[in-house]
Amino acid sequence: MDELQELEKIRQDGLAALSHVADEAALEAWRVAHLGRNAPVMQVFSRLGQAPKELRPKIGQVANQVKQELEAAFQERATALKQAALQRALTAERLDVTLPGRRPARGRLHPATQNLRRILSILGEMGFQVYTSREVELDEYNFQLLNIPPHHPAREMQDTFYVESPQTDGSYSVVLRTHTSPGQIRAMREFSATNPDNPPPIRVALPGMCFRYEQITARSEVQFNQVEGLVVGRHITFSDLKGTLSDFVRRMFGQNTRTRFRSDYFPFTEPSAEMDVECFVCGGKGCAVCKKSGWLEILGCGMVHPTVLQNGGYDPRKYSGFAFGMGPERQIMLRHKINDIRYFWGNDLRFLEQF
């Protein structure tokens, strides 16, 4: 009789303990304790031999029932726990599909590229076509054909990166272009080659990176962009240069922008000039950006030197032309009062994201 009472207690204890089980770990612990090899109900089976013979079938039968009942209860609990876990996960990880999406970070064009493209699109409207020339140049194109012979003092205007070691005569032949002007020769030669006896007129814009061997400071960088313009044809005069450039700056900086030309020197133009625009920061009244002068220097220009025309395959007795060169970064610096050119290639997003 004792064993039967014991089994009833085992049953009740087991079910009671199971009702407190709240997670998978506790459930496993419960299984080991109540259905494992040393569980009380299993011990009843082991002791069966010691019970009086006539009671053994009854005890065995009841022990089996208790074991099955505990097993069934265990299964039920296991299923219930799984359900609850799923429910919890569904609530905790619920997706609100009505929330606005997270915007992916979008890149943008570098301010120098933005301004470069703006200049090119304005020149494009004025009938210039873009001519892309190389960044690694021959000394011949960068200097000599532009009327700057070796050892000419004008070379000191543009400190140069040489790409190879000196030739036997001490000269270098490959350089990083110091300006976009060598593209003038390349464009003229390509155009004149199409019809050497009667070369076609040219109206091109030459954009791109230039390099100078300089100490990097707030005012000078080793790399910067330029946009060059070149017009060659018959009867091109200095007034075409003035008219074209004045029109360009009005499109670029506003219809009322005033300009002035000052004489200057470049070996590849004659005469040469520097063009100023009325300070677009103070409107010409005089401020820190224009250093109280009311004017900003924005490009160099001039009539293409006869020797340069000749080098390009254009007979200077029949053809004339003008050229100009400007710096997109410098324009941005003036316009936005940026006082340090190093920001442009410093790769600091706090600077770049403002454009």
Site residues (CB under 6 A) for ligand PHE? 179, 181, 228, 266, 269, 300-302, 323-325
The distance of closest approach from Cβ of residue 210 to ligand PHE in the complex, given in angstroms and rounded to an integer, is 7
Phi/psi region, residue 272 (left: phi>0; alpha: psi -120 to 50; beta: rest), is: beta
User: Which residue from 296, 326, 295, 278 is spatially nearest to 116, judged by alpha carbons?
Assistant: 326
**Which CB, 123 or 323, lies closer to ligand PHE?**
323
The single-letter DSSP state of residue 156 is G
The least distance separating ligand PHE from the CB of residue 241, rounded to whole angstroms, comes to 10
* Dihedral (Cα; 94, 96, 97, 99), 10-degree rounding: -150
Decide if 229 contacts 123 (C-beta within 8 A). Answer: yes
Neighbour order of strands in the sheet with 223-233: 129-130, 202-211, 223-233, 320-326, 295-304, 269-278, 259-266
- In the complex, the smallest distance separating the C-beta of residue 200 from ligand PHE, rounded to whole angstroms, is 21
Least separation in angstroms between residue 182's CB and ligand PHE is 9
Distance, CA of 38 to chain centre: 68
Q: Is position 270 annotated in a ligand binding site?
A: yes
Both tokens of 169, joined, read 């005569």
Which residue in the shown chain puts its C-beta closest to ligand PHE?
Answer: 325
Name the residue nearer to ligand PHE (CB basis): 73 or 138. 138
Q: 74 vs 324, which CB is nearer to ligand PHE?
A: 324
Which of 179/330 has CB closer to ligand PHE?
179
**Whole-angstrom distance, CA of residue 114 vs CA of residue 109:** 6
Considering the complex, what minimum distance in angstroms separates the CB of residue 238 from ligand PHE?
13
Nearer to ligand PHE, 93 or 156 (CB): 156
Detail the residues annotated as belonging to a binding site.
Answer: 270
Detail the residues annotated as belonging to a binding site for Mg(2+).
Answer: 270
